[in-house]
Amino acid sequence: MTNLMNEAARHLNDDVIIQLSRQIGAQDPNQVKRAAQGVSELLLNAIQRSANHQEKGGGLFGAITKDHDGGILGDLMNVLNGKKQVNNQSTMNGAAIVSHLLGKQQLEAAQIISQMSGLDIFKSGVLMQLIAPVIMGVVGQKQKSSGVDLGGLASILMGGGRQQQQAPQGGQLDGLGGVFGKLLDMDGDGSMMDDLLNIGMKMMKK
């Protein structure tokens, strides 16, 4: 997991962070960078859990092999700013990815990201949707280059053992792996996150 976190951090470099900051209307790129690190860890943990889940794993693997080959990573800036269009719209459907991975825990996830980064909760939620295709691309690129099946992908995601809870150098996410783990284990009782994110997305476009 540490290797995948480092790979995600490599693609979410300072230029990309500035672009994402503009897209969500954030004034402080450092907050967005901290939030991006948290989102990356959260989503990679969620992908790992899905890969090890008998029912969810097949659907996840199918989505990765069909929609997320890592192609967007080669020209990520232009994909994010809309100058380059992708042929497969599912590749960039961050809302669907987040919904699939986090389900009813989206609001709680946005709250945690907001608290640890200082970024507004609405912006944190929208940022999750923008980063989700990048994280899926990182995982998909690794799967494609390795040629592994679902079991192999699960092994890659679990690589490094407890190191998965460590953040990239310069991050402030120590211990958050455990927090995210508890979050993903929670039994949700319904969430208003979809409505809140829709409101937040509209706010970002004004």
pLDDT (0 to 100) of residue 71:
92
Confidence band, pLDDT 50/70/90 cuts, at residue 185? low
| Structure-token match 């079991």, residue found | 151
d(C-alpha 21, C-alpha 80), whole Å? 11
Confidence of residue 178 (pLDDT cuts 50, 70, 90): low
133 close to 94: Cβ distance less than 8 angstroms: yes
What does the pLDDT read at residue 177? Answer: 53
Predicted pLDDT of residue 163: 37
CB of 76 within 8 A of CB of 134? Answer: yes
CA distance 61 to 149: 8
Question: What would the two tokens of residue 180 be?
Answer: 């995210």
In this prediction, residue 161 has a pLDDT band, given cuts at 50, 70 and 90, of very low
Counting residues of the chain whose pLDDT is more than 70, the rounded percentage is 74
- Answer yes or no: is pLDDT of 175 > 60: no
pLDDT tens track for 101-113:
988 888 889 998 9
The pTM is what? 0.79
Inter-CA distances, 186 with 30, 103, 119, 182, 189, Å: 30, 11, 24, 6, 9
> Looking up tokens 């949707």, which residue turns up?
129
> What backbone phi and psi angles, to 5 degrees, belong to 169?
-55, 135
